[in-house]
Structure 1
């Protein structure tokens, strides 16, 4: 549970309970202990009613067998009270906790650790009932006991400090809240430093579990004294700790791995990362085997873990001796404001957004804290937008961008449970858009983009800083719902109500018309990227696309006709507008994968780009289409070192969210790119190498040296859990593999739009290398808005791509 692997833990706990009941009988104290453990897990998944049932049974067993004043009974009372606090009758928790406190003080003493825990529980119960003045002294007593028994740097001490800080904030004492939060932060950061090389993920899990508290502390610092320079610095640091996403961590790992080139350090760090990934996999295998009582497989996994630990010990010993600065590189700290500003160029502005959610008991308003850094100035302010309001606003804009939001699922297959789930999810998407926009839209219509809403969001997020950012390239580090917002669709001026149809979009004052935008997963990623030496790759371009897919009918052979580049590759207007996305991967067979819509127009897309970059003369080596666009070929090119010789790597195909790739062969629920599926009779051993899906975990194992990876496939910026963290999907994997910048899509991409945007962006960069990737993409968007067809002016066509990574060069 310390590493958030609850799904793995529950079946093991259920089995342990069954074994204990069978051995000792249903009313034995040992059964009560197993019930307590299982209830604690259920509470972490918000299944409080189930937890309450188990806890009441445990209390009844212990009272009968041990007596009403036994310390274990106090433990039961406390656990039951904690479950009741999240129920419909939280007031029942207080008397249980007071009884437990009396038992502990009598049997264990007033300074015992368990007494402190019960004091904390009572304080939380009173806090939940809005009796803040009564709760505070109990929190303070608990803090003193925890500090005495566990030491000032224990995570439990940080937990109590966090609770006290929230209470102080709700009382309006922001200075005290900020001071308490600063103490809690020191605890969390010290634990991370102590466990910097841990292999279980405990230190990272601790920091992640305190993300909300770190955000609250940043707000307290702002409220206490926003104008103070040290307070601004403290808030900036807190924000960076709170926003440590998977993509940011991966980018830091890439920087470590390659910061000193491709020499001995790079090889050694790469080896260590591979060992850790393998160890995590073996630990999952061990947990699974233990839960299933499979002793041979469990022992096999234990042996594998022990072997990997020996290998890691050897690598760590070499690193500590041969590369003494590795620890600092491997455990990067947040950048100071001065350090971040030093990385910026005169024409750049760094914008960091931190959403601060409500605490569990919502008595403080939500808000967004925003920092803007330029060479000339630093600004910090609060934006009064709650996460629900912000989420709804972003979702409403996306309803006008992603045409798949309006797809009807009425004719989708619904034979399996997964197919029914997919239909329910799509219906929920459609219903939410109908509710947010207040209208019905046919899946064949252009979705109505809310220009007024886009302007309102611009006014809230960017307009307050317009005087210092207007002429600059924006480098944005988003959080929360803002990770799903392509900022270039914000509108800088009120829309003209007299304009109708596509003219509304052609004449809108899009941010993209004025400024280029780059997205970063973290502030530190700017340093990581700018420390990277320029790519040593000499070859300009390699591309993969047009996988051999036959469509739902099973006989659509258009992809077979475009397995090589044509002589008239400049004729882009003939490209057919298939929508890339929405793949229905819900059956465990290759036939279902092969039945996805073919994408023959992607051959045109890749061939035109190859021609523009002068790679078409080596078509066999640089453009991999049809039967050659396989997962096996991509992996082989990586192993041979061929992929690492290309500056630009381009994938033009279907992109899958993690749920959409679920249940394909090995059932790996993670984002993926669709490549040409293997034959039906392919042996299982070969499917492990090539099953037609290049998943995120497989991308992370590629060896690249790319300046730019283009993913002109749908939703490749979406996160592993769908859309919660929009940079932690395939983007994370490509960062890990050593891509400096990604051009990724936010929603299902029209093939025609993908062709126009990518080829124009490359043409701009080819003609003017000094403008940088972000500006090249912006000019491509502007060209489509101002000089494309009437439909091209709709943001669904020109706005799907976002540049992630280094956009300034």
Structure 2
């Protein structure tokens, strides 16, 4: 039998038909290339080729034609047709695969994609793996300079679809390899600086991020943005998509504030280049809104969701699923903003819209129902809440692979809205346990809005039935989330240790098993079958997680502390309290703010009468009016009344020292200056809260016992650092690669005002210890390099007297820092992440600087910045400030607090007396809260 030749002159008529069809298909006019005219041309080739026999088979151009038609079906979304035609094409091409390798591999690629789209992901992955192996062999058989662009592009497309299939199967490591092959082939086809290469970079970054290879992911995401900026017209879709991909990656890895710039730039470009009448634009709005929602910036997120909702509805019709999703998120934002009726209206419409469009799309209902139920409960519309809870529970149980959280939340709200429908306390405790397990698996430790809502519902239940253990567990998760997010950079650095990295992956694997076990228990309870077996599996999984957590905490205690892993024990907390001492936790959840007071004998959990949004607005009012000339006494008193309710006060009746555990905006509240009676003007005798309590702030529910005897200050060694030598801009060292700030900041640093009181403050405090026990680093010696040369574990007390900077205070400053003197390659900034790598033995660190209590922003929690970094490095307790401090006031409070501690007073009492003494001192404006109130004690 003669060998087959694809150029056999006897088949010239077929070749003319192929050329005509190819010319139409390869047209620059996309509408023409996908038109019926083009389809007809390929069908003419198919029909003609079927009539010609070669080597006992129909001519393979019949298969080539079907493979192309299958590709067109795939592009049109007609996947059933694409699968049928690709199967037929592969049968026709099989005897001639060597002669038509490109068509053969194209057919397999389309088949694999269609299998995935129609639900057979495993089958699609295998088909695409075969196509990839065939392509690799084909490319290897060609000389390097004999591979044309189309071959590289097909190889890239096959690898891309294969990577997507592997990712959907959870085989992320293999997916990364496939996506890397896709990127390499794309670059070979179009070059490293093309628009298509940009898409390959950011898609590879997304796959790396899913595989927990975050640093590599960020490298390629930034590469995509850099190439787009330098080489691609901003009108090309991949320009905006590169910005958006980097923004979403930063958001998903805990850097949401940094992500906003990229997402906002992407929207601006899309608005300019493609206009607002495109799904492409409205998805961008929804992405930005989702990040703002996670950041609790609900007022900013709501209009974005509503604009997206209108756009989706205009483009897709009244029952558009995407419009329903945007409306549901807008409803969630409305609820968080305290607009309960708007929330109920929007969430109800979102659910109705989806149900009208399709009874199979339950995803949006799963998102909308929890917020709707919470809003109905707040509105006391319990019958409607119960009906919605029943629908939510029913839909959750019907999902094939429902996550544990929706199942637990559905069971909880069903029990809460039907007093006879189940054990409310048991279901609430189970819900909190599921949120804890979810948070343990999440690398950045940040709670999402669904988890915050679940904890809000659990805390509301705890307040109704006065379940203190439930409230404590829920609040501990919220506090731990803030700690984990604050220490994200430190935790990531620690996990670079291969030994720890392996242990963390094991813990995450155990966590996923526990999540599945939670889901199995909840589904068993829902159907009342297999409950005992499911609970046994759950107990075994929970034991594995607990054992691994304990083992990691034992072997890697610094990582455990950085991640904020804590499961508080109420009896242990009470044993840790001193005489006449109590806890007061103040935490915003989703729509409410909750207070938990714990004394040695009693406990009370309450929800504030005002909404979360209104209370946070009060905090903002108070902070905005703090100056020597201005003070909003009404806002301060309202906060006092909302937080210290009669029920909370009853628990604190005998309390003299109060440990406050605040989160969110309440960590920026100077509790010392909340007045116990209405005030209009600050006076020396105003009944501030600091007159009632000695106050300590704690990042979480710590149970480390206090020492039985506080060592007198005079017997400890003292290290003072400050009064740095400010360099001019020209003499500042070059910025380190990857450092905390970018070029242009040298002038900003050198322009900061001098602190004339700092040197005197350091000298005065050092005198309390005596020359033999005091070391001072001032002027040019107050540098990072000087600190590194000292054994910091030998000092019991450390004092920093300098400027403190918050994240964003200057261009590119991404974390809080202390200003020191530049030298030996130092940049003059001691950042929080650098502090966290130190080994400090000080029982007490005093940060007598501006904004040292601040976190990533001026409103961020006290423990998310320098204060937490020093605690993490080993400091026992810290004295820090909430806002820029007048240096004479700082010196006064620092010295008086040290004197009091030196006399044996507890530090909180020493600070209390120092603040009261400053008020009475007769110094200018000393009675004003702006002068004395910023100082807080963190730790004991």
Taking structure 1 as the reference length, the TM-score comes to: 0.63
Name stretches of at least 5 consecutive residues in structure 2 with no aligned partner. Answer: 1-247, 293-300, 335-341, 508-546, 732-740
Cα distance in 2 for residues equivalent to 1:314 and 1:612 = 47
Change (3 A) 1:181 1:542: same
Cα distance in 2 for residues equivalent to 1:274 and 1:91 = 44
Cα distance in 2 for residues equivalent to 1:15 and 1:458 = 43
State whether structure 2 residue 218 is matched by structure 1 residue 218.
no
Secondary structure of 1:723's counterpart equals coil
Shift of 1:123: 5.2
Secondary structure of 1:243's counterpart equals helix
Q: 2:908 aligns with which of 769, 774, 778?
A: 774
State whether structure 2 residue 305 is matched by structure 1 residue 48.
yes
Matching residue of 1:117? 363
Matching residue of 1:694? 830
Matching residue of 2:721? 544
RMSD across aligned C-alpha pairs, in angstroms?
A: 5.0
Cα distance in 2 for residues equivalent to 1:159 and 1:476 = 29
Shift of 1:335: 1.9
Shift of 1:338: 2.0
Count of aligned pairs: 606
State whether structure 2 residue 750 is matched by structure 1 residue 517.
no
Give 1:263-342 correspondences, 5 Å limit. 276-277=492-493, 312-313=501-502, 323=551, 326=554, 330=560, 332-342=565-575
Matching residue of 2:656? 472
Change (3 A) 1:528 1:52: farther
User: Contact 1:765 / 1:772 at 8 angstroms: preserved in 2?
Assistant: yes
Q: 1:659 aligns with which of 808, 815, 819?
A: 808
Matching residue of 1:745? 881
Matching residue of 1:593? 749
State whether structure 2 residue 432 is matched by structure 1 residue 243.
no
State whether structure 2 residue 784 is matched by structure 1 residue 631.
yes
Give 1:50-199 correspondences, 5 Å limit. 51-52=308-309, 55=312, 59=316, 79=325, 82=328, 101=355, 104-105=358-359, 114-117=360-363, 119-120=365-366, 137=387, 140-150=390-400, 154-158=404-408, 181-192=428-439, 195=441
Cα distance in 2 for residues equivalent to 1:354 and 1:175 = 28
Matching residue of 2:585? 352
Superposed CA offset, 1:471-526 (max 9, x none): 5211111244432222222334566x9xx8xxx62233333344311111112x24
State whether structure 2 residue 900 is matched by structure 1 residue 764.
yes
Cα distance in 2 for residues equivalent to 1:765 and 1:140 = 59
User: Contact 1:657 / 1:715 at 8 angstroms: preserved in 2?
Assistant: yes
Name stretches of at least 5 consecutive residues in structure 1 with no aligned partner. Answer: 61-67, 106-113, 254-272, 280-306, 359-365, 404-445, 556-584
Superposed CA offset, 1:47-86 (max 9, x none): 32564477469848xxxxxxx9xxxx98657546647868
Superposed CA offset, 1:451-480 (max 9, x none): 676556545544732674445211111244
Secondary structure of 1:522's counterpart equals coil
Cα distance in 1 for residues equivalent to 2:673 and 2:343 = 46
Give 1:672-687 correspondences, 5 Å limit. 672-677=817-822, 686=825
Change (3 A) 1:785 1:185: same
User: Contact 1:550 / 1:595 at 8 angstroms: preserved in 2?
Assistant: no
Secondary structure of 1:694's counterpart equals strand
Superposed CA offset, 1:677-736 (max 9, x none): 45xxx9xxx3xxx21121222221222122111111112112213214233121121122
Superposed CA offset, 1:423-457 (max 9, x none): xxxxxxxxxxxxxxxxxxxxxxx324456765565
User: Contact 1:516 / 1:775 at 8 angstroms: preserved in 2?
Assistant: yes
Change (3 A) 1:470 1:392: farther
Secondary structure of 1:669's counterpart equals coil
User: Contact 2:412 / 2:427 at 8 angstroms: preserved in 1?
Assistant: yes
Q: 2:816 aligns with which of 671, 675, 680?
A: 671
Give 1:541-620 correspondences, 5 Å limit. 541-549=718-726, 588-614=744-770, 616-617=771-772
Taking structure 2 as the reference length, the TM-score comes to: 0.55
User: Contact 2:308 / 2:323 at 8 angstroms: preserved in 1?
Assistant: no
Secondary structure of 2:856's counterpart equals coil
Shift of 1:373: 2.2
Secondary structure of 1:483's counterpart equals helix
Cα distance in 2 for residues equivalent to 1:602 and 1:340 = 39
Change (3 A) 1:40 1:546: same
Cα distance in 2 for residues equivalent to 1:321 and 1:713 = 37
Say which one has the larger Rg: 2
Relative contact order (alpha carbons < 8 A, sep ≥ 6): 1 or 2 greater? 1
Change (3 A) 1:79 1:236: closer
User: Contact 2:712 / 2:901 at 8 angstroms: preserved in 1?
Assistant: no
Matching residue of 2:930? 796
